[in-house]
Amino acid sequence: MTDAELSEAEKTFILHSVQDNFREDGRGNEDFRHMEVETGLISNTNGSARVRLANTDVLVGVKVQLTAVDPEKPEVGRLDFFIDCSANATPAFEGRGGEDLGSEISAMLTRAYSCPSAVDFHSLCVLPGQQCWLLYVDVLLLECGGNLFDAVSIAVKAALFNLKIPNVTMTKDEGGVELDLSDDPFDFKRLNVAGAPVVVTVNKIGHKHVVDASEKEEECTLARIILGVTEKGTITSMRKEGSGSLDSDSISEMMESARKVGMELNKILLKALEEEEKQGAKTVGFLR
Amino acid sequence: MPTDTRRLTGPESSQSPYNFAPCSKLDMRNLEVRPDGRSFKQLRPLFLRTDVVSQARGSSYIEMNDTKAICAVYGPREVLRREDFSLKGQLTCDFKFATFSCKQRRQHQQDSQEKDLSVQVLEALEPAVCLHKYPKSQINIFITVLQHDGCALSAAIMCASLALASAGIEMYDLVVASSAAICGSLTLVDPTAQEEETILKSTVKLDANAGSVTVAYLPSMSQVSALSSDGELSFEVLNKSMQECVANCQRLYPVLEQTLVKHQQELEASKS
C-alpha cells in the first residue's frame, strides 16, 4: 500500500520511540494527528464531508435514492458504502490496484454500521413494506498518509451528520399510495448520528500499541485491531488485520485504548460538527 | 457487476419464499433451551477428515452438525509474475459459499461478504504458516462451504489449517477457531445460523449487548491469530466472550491433532 520502504535501522528507531511513548512526530501513543473536518462542500450531494488527517485526505458524498425495501427487512432503510481508491492517492491504486483495500474498508464500515443503534434505520423507511431510502455513501481517497480506516469513518460520520433527506408526502388514491417529493430545498429532515461509530485502528508495534499510525509506523506493524467505537464506548464491530498474531492480554489492552480514544473522538467530532453548523456554511477552502 | 451470460439465471427480480413464511426468529429474551437441545455452553460435535480431494496437495472436510465445508490446498508453486517476487511465500485464500448452501440462493460469483471472509481466513492462517520457508512461491487455499448452519468462518479456518498441515506445509501450529453469539446475559457458544441471524439481523435493538465473536487461536503458542466481532457489545462483554472462545478453542484442539495423526498413520500405512 505504501511507497515508504524502511531500513532496519529506521524501523528500530520507530520501535524505540513507541516504546518510550514519544513518537517520531512528538506524539504520545494515544494521540491523534491534527485533523480538519469540513461539511457540505459538494452541492450535488445530499450530504458531504471532507476530512484531512495529516496527509490523509478523504472526501465523502452521500446521495439518497428511493428504492424498494429489502424483503428480509421491510421496515428499515439501507446504507451502501463504496470506497473509491483513486490513483491520485498512490500509483499502486491504478487500475484495479485499490479494489482490495476499498472492499476491505467498505466491509468494515458495513459491519460497524450494521447494528440497529448506529443510525435510526426506521426513520429511513418511507412506506413500510414498500419504499425506503437507500443512502449511497461514496468515499473518495484523495491522499494516503496512514490510518485510512479511521479517517474514512470520521468523514462518513460527518457526511451523515450533514445529510439532508428531502421530506416525502404520501397521498392515498385508489391505485395505491402516491409519493410526492418536496420541491423546497429547505424542507428536509436530518439523520441522528449520535449513535454512529467511528473506527479506531490500534497498531501493535513492539510491546506497545499506538493509535493513528503514520505511514511509516504502519510499515513497522505486523498486527493491528480495527474497532468501531460508539460515543457510549460500546464496540460495534472488531477485526484483527495483518499477518501477525497477538497475545490475548495485549488484545484487551489494545481494546481498552481504542475504547478510550474512540469515545473521546466521537465527542470531539460531534462538538466540532455542531459548532460548524451554528457558524453557518463558510467553506475554508476545499483543497489547499 | 458483470454476470456470466453463459449461465442460466433466474428472473431479474425474484424473492425467496422464506420471506413470506412466518417468522423463524427465536425469542431471545425468554430463551431457555436452544432449538437443537444443546446447553448454552455446549459445542456441536466436530467431525474432521483429511484427503478428500485426491488431486490437491492437501485437503480436508469439516462437519459441525449442519455446517459442512471442504477445503483444498494447492502448491507451493512458482509465482509467475515477476513483479510479485517476494522472499516470503504468499498465501492466497478463496472462500466461497456453494450457491445452494444457505437459505437464500447465493450467486456463483464471490460477493462482498465472501471476499471479506476470504481475507479473514487468510489473516487467521498467515501467522501459523512458516512463509519464510517458501520463497518465490505461493500456496493457494480454496474453501467451499457446502452447507451453512452458523459458524462458517470458524469452520473454514479449522478446515483450512488442517488441509495446510495435511499438505505438509511447514507450520508453527494448527489454527483452531470458535465462535459465540451474545444477547444480553446469554452467551450461546457455537451458534447455529438461526441463532446468529436472530441476533445480527434484528432491526430493533434486542439488548444493550447483542452480537457475535469469532476467535482463531494458536493453542501451543497461546496467540490469537484472528478476531472478529459483529453487532454491538460492551467492552467487558466482548472481552469475556473472547476469553470463552479461547477456552473453547483449547477444547477443540485435540480433535484436530488426532485427525492429523490419523492422516499421518494412513500415509505411512499406504507407503509400506
Q: Each residue of A210-261: pLDDT tens digit?
A: 999 999 999 999 899 999 999 999 999 999 998 899 998 999 999 999 999 9
Q: Based on the number of CB atoms within 10 Å of its own CB, is B83 exposed (0-12), middle (13-18) or buried (19 or more)? A: exposed
C-beta atoms of B228 and A238 within 8 A: yes
Supply the mean pLDDT for chain A. 89
Supply the mean pLDDT for chain B. 89
Evaluate whether residue A3 is within a structural domain.
no
Residues of B in contact with A223 (CB under 8 A): 127
Evaluate whether residue A258 is within a structural domain.
yes
| Alpha-carbon span B85 to B35, nearest angstrom | 51
For the cut 70, the answer to whether the pLDDT of residue A18 exceeds it is yes
Evaluate whether residue A7 is within a structural domain.
no
Residue of A nearest to B119 (CA): A104
Evaluate whether residue A56 is within a structural domain.
yes
Asked whether the beta carbons of B174 and B161 are under 8 A apart, the reply is: yes
Asked whether the beta carbons of B180 and B231 are under 8 A apart, the reply is: no
Q: What does the pLDDT look like over A142-184, one tens digit per residue?
A: 998 889 999 999 999 999 999 999 998 888 887 778 888 877 8
Residues of B with CB under 8 A from a CB of A: 15-16, 19, 112-113, 115-116, 119-120, 123, 126-128, 200-205, 208-211, 218, 221-235, 238-239, 242-243, 246
Which pLDDT belongs to residue B22?
64
Asked whether the beta carbons of A81 and A74 are under 8 A apart, the reply is: no
Give yes or no for A31 touching B (CB within 8 A).
no
What range does the domain containing A209 cover? 26-276
**Closest CB to B119 among A104, A246, A251:** A104
Give yes or no for A97 touching B (CB within 8 A).
no
Domain with residue A162: its CATH number is 3.30.230.70
**A residues 221..260 contacting B (CB < 8 A):** 223, 225, 230, 233-248, 251-252, 255-256, 259
C-beta atoms of B15 and A71 within 8 A: yes
| Alpha-carbon span B144 to B52, nearest angstrom | 13
pLDDT band at A70 (very low <50, low <70, confident <90, very high): confident
Q: What are B227's three cell numbers? A: 478476531
Evaluate whether residue A284 is within a structural domain.
no
Which of B154, B205, B149, B208 is CA-nearest to residue B178? Answer: B154
Q: In sequence order, what E strands does chain A have?
A: 35-39, 47-53, 56-68, 78-85, 125-127, 131-143, 164-166, 168-173, 176-181, 188-190, 198-205, 208-211, 223-229, 235-241
Residue of B nearest to A105 (CA): B116
Count how many Cα atoms sit within 13 Å of the Cα of residue B155 in the half-sphere of its side chain: 35
| Alpha-carbon span A193 to A284, nearest angstrom | 24
Tally A–B CB contacts below 8 A.
110
pLDDT band at A73 (very low <50, low <70, confident <90, very high): confident
- Count of CB atoms within 10 A of residue A72's CB? 14
Asked whether the beta carbons of A228 and A81 are under 8 A apart, the reply is: no
For the cut 80, the answer to whether the pLDDT of residue B2 exceeds it is no
- Going across the sheet that includes B137-147, the strands are B46-50, B58-64, B67-78, B137-147, B90-97
Evaluate whether residue A151 is within a structural domain.
yes
Angle formed at CA B179 by CA B173 and CA B182, multiple of 5 degrees: 150
Q: What does the pLDDT look like over B151-201, one tens digit per residue?
A: 999 999 999 999 999 999 999 999 999 999 998 888 999 999 989 988 888
ipTM: 0.88
Q: What does the pLDDT look like over B108-149, one tens digit per residue?
A: 889 889 999 999 999 999 999 999 999 989 999 999 999 999
Evaluate whether residue A2 is within a structural domain.
no
Evaluate whether residue A8 is within a structural domain.
no
**Prior bond of B76 cis (ω within 30°):** yes
**Residue A94 Cα, gap to closest chain B Cα (Å):** 15
For the cut 80, the answer to whether the pLDDT of residue A139 exceeds it is yes
Which pLDDT belongs to residue A100?
87
**Residue B229 Cα, gap to closest chain A Cα (Å):** 5
Which of B156, B82, B107 is CA-nearest to residue B7? Answer: B107
Which pLDDT belongs to residue B28?
73
| Alpha-carbon span B73 to B69, nearest angstrom | 14
Structural domains in chain B, CATH included, are 38-271 (3.30.230.70)
For the cut 60, the answer to whether the pLDDT of residue A288 exceeds it is no
Looking at residue A94, the DSSP 8-state letter turns out to be T
Total number of domains constituting chain A: 1
